[in-house]
Amino acid sequence: MPSFVGRSALPRSYGTWRGWVQTFALVAMMLGLAVAMRVSVAAANDRPVRIVVLGDSLTAGLGLRADETFSVKLERALRAKGLAVEVANAGVSGDTASNGLARLDWSVPEGTDAVIVELGANDMLRGINPKVTRQALAEIVRRLAVRHMAVLLAGMRAAPNLGSDYGRDFEAIYAELAARYGLLLYPFFLDGVAGEAGLNQRDGLHPTAAGIDAIVARILPKVEELVGRARDKRVM
């Protein structure tokens, strides 16, 4: 009687065949994951880049019609460049940097890809200690970094009547934070508009619709960079 002790009831080629099956299954699974990732990335890239403008009256549009505000005109300019974007206006007139920090979580909802931070003008006008402004802005950009959002920090200049020491300390905030957190920086939000009578309302502080056009034209290249960074973060 033949003995089967120590023998396999399957042909010797079975072990090799089973190995090939397992290898094929593993390769198929990896290919499936790769396809799923590509589909996910493609879907993310197809979705418009969502930008929130976190600011004060300069971006809220004080004295302007709704269709003349910074966010509306910026979105229009970006779309004219062929960029799929949605720009939300989260500007609140009178807000300081600390006010912006207090409302950050609900002003910048989930699903936001990038944020333009335009705060500090009211801090300067009220003579708030630059250390307080710096601390609030630093916490804003830190929280946005934790949420993996691309950030463009828009700077502000101090009025000469506040003195050279105040002006130096205040204006240094923006470059320092941009360098520390690796942010995009637009040094002066009102560049080319401040002091130009034809581009400001009667108060001499808030841009007219033409003033907003000038701001958008000047800041647009930086915002295009911001959109690029936001897209890069989607696939990381």
Positions annotated as catalytic residues are 57, 203, 206
Q: What is the β-pairing status of strands 114-118 and 85-91?
A: unpaired
Distance (Å, whole) CA 210 – CA 198:
8
Nearest to 198 by CA among 214, 187, 186, 218: 214
In the numeric block, which tokens belong to residue 14? 């079975």
**Within a 10 A sphere around the Cβ of 228, how many other Cβ atoms?**
15
Which DSSP category does 48 fall into?
P
Do the Cβ atoms of 229 and 85 come closer than 8 Å? Answer: no
Nearest to 209 by CA among 193, 226, 229: 193
Amino acid found at 120: G
E-only strand ranges, 56-94: 85-91
- Tell me the CB-side half-sphere exposure of residue 133, using CA atoms within 13 A: 28
